[in-house]
Amino acid sequence: MRLITMEILIVIGLVVGLLLFPYLRNYFSARMHHADPKTAREMLVLARVRQIKYFYIHAGIFAIMMLGVALILFIISESRRDVLLLGMGWAILLAIHAFWVFGINGVLHNWEKRRIKDLLNQIDE
């Protein structure tokens, strides 16, 4: 008989994540806060850097949390499948986040460059 079930661990992880996310986001935003950007171009570059930074934070949290959860589940779980399912689920979310930030083969990046150029041209007119 297991004292802690997989469902309880997932709920605890979600609650901790939801409680920590606003704090971490504010902490890292405050550290990144520079002087007010003067141009639209600076604002777009700052937004892009923040997107990339949040992805790397997400990847780091993923690595740390998966290591901890894997150790806990290996100790308390009768099935090693729980660790794999949790890891695969979060890895899929991380891959979606990576696609959103970096794109596949630069598809989103090229689109973003074109869009930035269009917006800057509209602002200059």
What is the distance between the alpha carbons of residues 102 and 5, in angstroms, rounded to a whole number? 36
State the pLDDT at residue 1: 45
**DSSP conformational letter for 35:** S
What is the distance between the alpha carbons of residues 109 and 100, in angstroms, rounded to a whole number? 10
Higher pLDDT, 57 or 9: 57
- Residue 108: pLDDT over 70: no
Higher pLDDT, 63 or 5: 63
Look at the chain and count its residues: 125
- Residue 61: pLDDT over 80: yes
Per-residue burial over 16-55, b if 16 or more Cβ lie within 10 Å, else e, is eeeeeeeeeeeeeeeeeeeeeeeeeeeebeeeeeeeeebb
Residue 91 tokens read as: 């890895």
What is the distance between the alpha carbons of residues 3 and 37, in angstroms, rounded to a whole number? 53
Angle between the 81-102 and 6-32 helix axes, to the nearest 10 degrees? Answer: 30
Residue 102 tokens read as: 């970096």
Residue 82 tokens read as: 């729980």
- Residue 3: pLDDT over 60: no
* Nearest one of 69, 104, 105, 102 to 86, comparing CA atoms: 69
pTM reported for the whole predicted model: 0.52
